[in-house]
Amino acid sequence: MEIRNLGRSGLRVSSIGLGCNNFGGRIGLEATRKVVHRALDLGITLFDTADVYGERGGSETCLGQVLGDRRKDIVLATKFALPMDDAETLKGASRRYIMRAVEDSLRRLKTDWIDLYQQHRPDPMTPIEETLRALDDLVRQGKVRYIGCSNLPAWQVVEAQWTARHEGLNPYVSCQDEYSLVVRDVVEPELAPAMRQYGMGLLPFFPLASGLLTGKYKRNAPLPQDARLVTTPRLAERYLTDRNWQIAQRLDDWASTRGHTLLELAFSWLLAQPPVSSVIAGATKPEQLDANVKAGGWKLTAEDRAEIEGLAHLH
């Protein structure tokens, strides 16, 4: 397993990370245990969860029960800011809420510290300086090691980094945003240049476009019954477009002529993009992790990447 620095920070993470959004929700404690143990065996060190995953708290609770003494061997990342109650009073990035949210996460995870604490989404009600000062206090207290952000537009990332620099506060070391061979408009136009400027690492989520890039979906053929794009119509509407089908088919053909799968191409292409530190992918079964880790082993040449660019650009 390749280990990389998260941006220009000293935090080192496995190039393939484990997304823990299925734990405590789609899969229960014992199935989670199998996935976590396989991840540890494969050398995956980045475990990415959030307080809301697993129907609000379930994912963190499962991880807390499963990790035990192996907690110290991994980089544990979680998030705050999304609503943790139906009334939506428990949410956001204010000092008042952050100080409560972190204690709740630490308790569920059964740990004294969080390696990477991430703001899950923007909070238009709270000045960024207030958020950063609260997070900086948590770093100084030792409850959090590093901080990151997720789903912030490029201008807010720049504002946060500028504020941290000028106020002498710990900056965000990473961004977690959607990025894949079929979804590139979130990252490439403005976010990637901002991240390069500030030395931030990118943790792409949905690297397989919710399953479209696994190669298990074929156009004009029945979709697998339990697949996410079958059970979640809004995702199907979003990803199963004419454009995406065409791109996926062309890339699948290109990969197979080289003895590789579309899934291997999806991971390898992301790992070849300069801001990417680790590719986060969820799993409900241990064998999915085997495939993900194997996928990260294909080293694309500059020529390969140029050909992929040509195939992936459809307007």
| Residues with catalytic roles | 53
60: nearest Cα among 14, 16, 100, 107: 107
**Could you tell me the two tokens for 223?**
């979709």
| Alpha carbon separation from 187 to 135, 182, 201 (Å, rounded) | 25, 12, 12
Neighbouring C-beta atoms of residue 310, cutoff 10 Å? 9
**Could you tell me the two tokens for 80?**
């705050």
Neighbouring C-beta atoms of residue 155, cutoff 10 Å? 11
Which amino acid type is present at position 261? T
78: nearest Cα among 98, 66, 95: 98
Buried (b) or exposed (e) across 58-73, using 16+ Cβ within 10 A? Answer: bbbbbbbbbbeeebee
Give the torsion through C-alpha atoms of 95, 100, 101, 105, to 10 deg: 140
Which amino acid type is present at position 307? E
Task: Look at residue 261 and give its three-state secondary structure.
Answer: coil
**Could you tell me the two tokens for 238?**
């979003």
